[in-house]
Amino acid sequence: MHARVLVRGTSAVVLVLLGLAGLLLSAAPAVAQNGFKITYDIDRTRPDRARITGRLVNERAEDVYEVNLTAEALDAKGKVLSRGIAYVDARISRGDGRSFSMSVPTVPGTSDFRVSVSSFRLSGPPQGP
């Protein structure tokens, strides 16, 4: 098992722009997301799937909503070979954390994994009258 600690978090607009830049540059470096701390372990005992379990902590100054994570299986050059997505929670208060678990297909050439916050919202649910 591998233990990883990554700091992640930024607005959805910036994530979309970074994703588009990543498509244009095949060897784009990883970009840190401010406001989130992600720790995880990788279980590679199954030949076709890796099980990634970990914890996401909201280190932002405000609560976050509808949080999703994406785990990517990478080759030795950092190219994404497969993905897994996990819904974490509807609301994570500032300073609070949640556990997560997801599967990622492992294909020939998989040498590493990366986990990041793929989406979240800053505003809460609509308030009633």
What domains appear along the chain, each with residue ranges and CATH number? 3-121 (2.60.40)
**Helix-strand-coil percent breakdown of the chain, rounded to 5?**
10, 50, 40
Confidence at residue 33, expressed as pLDDT on a 0 to 100 scale: 62
pLDDT band with cut points at 50, 70 and 90 for residue 34: confident
For 23-34, b/e burial (b = at least 16 CB within 10 A) is eeeeeeeeeebe
Pairing status of strand 80-92 against strand 36-43: unpaired
Q: Which pTM does this prediction carry?
A: 0.69
Evaluate if residue 19 carries a pLDDT over 50. Answer: no
Average pLDDT, the chain: 79
The residue ranking higher by pLDDT, 15 or 36, is 36
